[in-house]
Amino acid sequence: MKLYYKPGACSMASHIVLNELGQNFDLEKTDTKRGKTESGANFREISPNGYVPALQTDTGEVITENPAILQFLGDMAPDSGLVPANGTLERTRLQEILNFVSSELHKAYSPFFSGTKLNASAKELAEAGIARRVGFIESKLSDGRVFLLGAQFTVADAYAFVVLNWSGFIEFDLQPWPLVQDYVERIRKRPAVIQSMTAEGLIEDRKAS
């Protein structure tokens, strides 16, 4: 199995889940701007929309789109708790929150990564959009739940963590949402998260020093 990724991008959610599962997998860094992978392959021939993540299975199938890849990975280990069983209301709840993370939260951060510097009013508008979605997560966590669906860490938490972690890169202060801040810091400490962030060069490899 191979994950095509870009350091720190949304593909890190799948990377985290692969590490949560203790799966053997290959990683291939991708330059989405040039449409080339690290080994020189034409990335558009692998992933027609040209964006990460793309997961190549051992049978050569390529799966794209975060919610699809994350559920595919979780279903590989039904006992892991990373996804609730198919056909249950809990699974629908997972899909509900994955769609929220994908189409609302993730896309609210997108203006900051468009490659064009935002002017003051565009920045204000984009920040208001992020604030609304982060506020929704704060309200979810307000009943004392540890993760988005309750006590169990799921693939949706891996994805939400990766997106919320971009706040630091764009200097969006999460302080008004203390439950979200704690949630992000709780997930940051997971061994699979540390392993993935280290492999993607986002944090220093402690073993190397």
Ligand X SMILES: N[C@@H](CCC(=O)N[C@@H](CS)C(=O)NCC(=O)O)C(=O)O
Please tell me whether residue 72 binds ligand X under the rule CB under 6 A: no
- Convert residues 7-26 into a mask of x (bound to ligand X by CB under 6 A) and - (unbound): --xx----------------
Per the document, the length of the chain is 209
Q: How many chain residues are in contact with ligand X, going by CB under 6 A?
A: 11
Cβ–Cβ under 8 Å, residues 13 and 162: yes
Region near ligand X per CB under 6 A, out of 4-12, 70-78, 179-187, 188-196:
4-12
Q: Which is nearer to ligand X, 75 or 179 (CB)?
A: 75
Parallel/antiparallel/unpaired status of strands 54-56 and 26-31:
unpaired
| Residue number with the smallest Cβ distance to ligand X | 51
CB 194, min distance to ligand X, A: 20
Q: Which is nearer to ligand X, 102 or 154 (CB)?
A: 102
Find the angle CA(61)-CA(65)-CA(70) to the nearest 5 degrees. 85
d(C-alpha 124, C-alpha 2), whole Å: 39
Strand ranges, E, within 32-191 = 36-37, 54-56, 62-64
Q: Which is nearer to ligand X, 118 or 179 (CB)?
A: 118
Distances (CA, A) of 26 to 57, 77, 149, 203: 10, 18, 29, 20
Find the angle CA(159)-CA(16)-CA(11) to the nearest 5 degrees. 60
- Return the residue of 16, 17, 20, 32 that touches ligand X, per CB under 6 A: 32
Site for ligand X in 161-190 (CB under 6 A): none
Site for ligand X in 74-133 (CB under 6 A): 102
Region near ligand X per CB under 6 A, out of 3-11, 79-87, 124-132, 174-182:
3-11
Going across the sheet that includes 2-5, the strands are 36-37, 26-31, 2-5, 54-56, 62-64
Q: Which is nearer to ligand X, 50 or 111 (CB)?
A: 50
Q: Which residues bind ligand X (CB under 6 A)?
A: 6, 9-10, 32, 50-53, 65-66, 102
